[in-house]
């Protein structure tokens, strides 16, 4: 709990530093701005006076969405690719080695080694009304996990060759509306509310051969599933503030399961708080970089999938044998740093790239730690 409070303090602190810097730069530049005029802050359709391209940093860093709107009738299409890796088993903030793991969890028969989550997303946005933009984001998911099965030999655990599993298909479907409910032209700031939902279109019942018994088909463990299995509320709140060359963003984005879904469980409720600073750094104003910090709080799973956790093999249940099949071993608190770059191209489209890595992770139960993650996208408004 103390560490969570520290992490939060850290987020707040780094924020006030960025804010102070921004305000200083703003005061220096405010006079210049009066002459160059044309307040640019709300969307793709507006153009910078010194450039025929849209301002790159009106889009949030690559891993985020819901940070900008479009004018009435304007549409945007974006292809986004995300790739996140996980490896190493961790309990709380401690990395555990194999002997420590078996000491604490003698019933385990499968240890996850690494996992990779890939997502291909098509993000469509359309300006519906003044200050209201609608969006939908169909997602194709490819999850790959490598595990080591163990044999119990008179109380000694013997590692068997690693096995790899892949599960791919459509994921859950996020959609909703972004509402810019407040903007201040003088401050060049704006507030946006994301009224978002996610439909449980991703499959949660996919099966694969058990790593311990290739003759037995078992359901994929929780992290390998394509969807959450539940309708999710995805409320978000974003604040943006601009100066001529820099901008600041704060976003709180939540994923909250409405209820237990078809699988009799509800996936983690998640809250992500991000703060970022971005700066236009090229003469032609087509390049911007961003520095971001993100705190994530995720609950464990509610309920139990009877097709997974309590399935028995011999005397043991799946949840006892495989940590990925245990809903209590989900969620935790993490802190990430993100480094991004956005470039506007000649045709007005944008390339957006961000890399994140964890700086702190406190995970519930025994889980693989999250490694680095990349989000890359191309988008165009028309
Ligand atoms: Cu857009």
CB environment 337-375: b (16+ within 10 A), e (fewer): ebebbbebeeebbbebbbbbebebbbbbbbbbbbbebeb
* pLDDT at 42 (0 to 100): 43
Give residue 322 CA to ligand 1 midpoint distance, Å: 41
Question: Would the CA dihedral through 15, 16, 21, 26 be positive or negative?
Answer: positive
264 alpha carbon – ligand 1 mean position (Å): 36
**pLDDT per residue over 213-256, tens digit each?**
888 888 899 999 999 999 999 999 999 999 999 999 999 999 99
Q: Which two tokens stand for residue 377?
A: 């996208």
Q: What is the CATH number of the domain that holds 312?
A: 2.40.160.40
Q: How far is the CA of 347 from the centre of ligand 1 (A)?
A: 15
Distance 153 CA to ligand 1 centre (A): 57
Q: What is the distance in A from the centroid of ligand 1 to the CA of 69?
A: 6
Distance 255 CA to ligand 1 centre (A): 21
pLDDT at 326: 87
- Alpha carbon distance 309, 330 (integer Å): 13
Q: What is the pLDDT of residue 230?
A: 92
**Model-level pTM greater than 0.75?**
yes
Asked if 284 and 245 count as a contact pair (C-beta separation under 8 A), the reply is: no
- The helix or strand, by DSSP H or E, that contains position 330, with its residue range, turns out to be none
The helix (run of H) or strand (run of E) holding residue 111 is strand 110-129
Cα(121) to centroid(ligand 1), Å:
13
Other CB atoms within a 10 A radius of the CB of residue 175 amount to 15
- In the reported structure, the alpha carbon of residue 299 is separated from the centroid of ligand 1 by a whole-number distance in angstroms of 30
CA of 346 to the centre of ligand 1 (A): 17
In sequence order, the 6+-apart residues with CB closer than 8 A to the CB of 134 are 125, 126, 128, 175, 176, 177, 178
Element (H, E) at 194: strand 189-199
Instruction: Give me the pLDDT at residue 32, please.
Output: 37
pLDDT at 313: 78
58: Cβ–Cβ under 8 A, 6 or more apart, which residues? 40, 41, 42, 43, 44, 46, 68, 247
Closest to 340 in 3D by CA, of 379, 296, 300, 291 = 291
Number of domains in the chain: 1
CA of 59 to the centre of ligand 1 (A): 7
Domain that holds residue 291: 2-381
Q: What residues of the chain score a pLDDT lower than 50?
A: 1-13, 15-18, 20, 22-51
What pLDDT is attached to residue 154? 80
**Cα–ligand 1 centroid distance for 350 (angstroms):** 10
Q: How far is the CA of 7 from the centre of ligand 1 (A)?
A: 31
**Helical residues (DSSP H) of the chain, grouped into ranges:** 2-36, 98-104, 318-321
Q: Closest Cα partner for 300 from 359, 367, 357, 233?
A: 367
pLDDT attached to residue 52: 60
Q: Across the chain, which distance is largest between two alpha carbons, in Å? A: 82
Q: Which residues surround ligand 1, an ion (CB under 5 A)?
A: 76, 125
Q: Which pLDDT score, from 0 to 100, does residue 5 have?
A: 46
- Distance CA(53)–CA(271), nearest Å, equals 34
**What CA–CA distance (Å, rounded) separates 194 from 238?**
8
Q: State the pLDDT at residue 21.
A: 52
C-alpha of residue 135 to centroid of ligand 1, in Å: 8
Pick from 251, 297, 290: nearest CA to 273: 251
Exposed/middle/buried for residue 279 (C-beta within 10 Å: 0-12, 13-18, 19+) = middle
CA of 74 to the centre of ligand 1 (A): 9
Phi and psi for 120 in degrees, rounded to 5? -110, 120
Going from the Cα of 361 to the center of ligand 1, the distance in angstroms, rounded, reads 31
């Amino acid at each position: 709990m103390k560490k969570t409070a520290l992490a939060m303090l850290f987020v707040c602190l780094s924020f006030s530093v960025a804010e102070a810097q921004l305000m200083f730069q703003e005061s220096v530049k405010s006079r210049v701005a009066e002459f160059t005029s044309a307040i640019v802050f709300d969307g793709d359709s507006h153009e910078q006076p010194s450039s025929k391209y849209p301002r790159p940093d009106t889009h949030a860093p690559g891993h985020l969405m819901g940070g900008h709107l479009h004018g009435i009738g304007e549409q945007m299409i974006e292809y986004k690719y995300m790739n996140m890796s996980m490896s190493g088993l961790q309990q709380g903030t401690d990395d555990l080695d194999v002997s420590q793991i078996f000491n604490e969890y003698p019933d385990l028969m499968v240890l996850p080694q690494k996992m990779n989550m890939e997502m291909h997303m098509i993000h469509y946005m359309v300006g519906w009304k003044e200050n209201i933009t609608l969006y939908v984001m169909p997602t194709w998911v490819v999850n790959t996990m490598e595990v080591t099965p163990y044999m119990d030999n008179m109380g000694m655990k013997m590692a068997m060759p690693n096995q790899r599993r892949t599960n791919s298909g459509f994921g859950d479907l996020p959609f909703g509306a972004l509402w810019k409910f407040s903007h201040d032209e003088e401050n060049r700031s704006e507030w946006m509310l994301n009224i978002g939902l996610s439909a449980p279109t991703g499959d949660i019942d996919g099966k694969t051969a058990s790593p311990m018994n290739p003759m037995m088909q078992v359901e994929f463990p929780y992290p390998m599933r394509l969807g959450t299995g539940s309708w999710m509320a995805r409320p978000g709140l974003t604040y943006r503030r601009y100066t001529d060359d820099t901008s600041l963003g704060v976003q709180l984005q939540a994923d909250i399961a409405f209820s237990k879904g078809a699988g009799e469980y509800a996936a983690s409720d998640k809250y992500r708080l991000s703060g970022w600073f971005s700066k236009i750094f090229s003469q032609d104003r087509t390049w911007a970089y961003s520095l971001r910090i993100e705190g994530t709080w995720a609950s464990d799973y509610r309920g139990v999938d009877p097709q997974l956790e309590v399935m028995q093999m011999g005397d043991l249940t799946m949840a006892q044998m495989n940590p990925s099949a245990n809903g209590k071993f989900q969620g935790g608190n993490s802190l990430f740093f993100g480094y991004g770059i956005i470039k506007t191209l000649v045709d007005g489209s944008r390339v957006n790239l961000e890399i994140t890595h964890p700086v702190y992770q406190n995970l519930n139960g025994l889980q693989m730690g999250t490694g680095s993650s990349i989000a890359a996208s191309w988008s165009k408004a028309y």
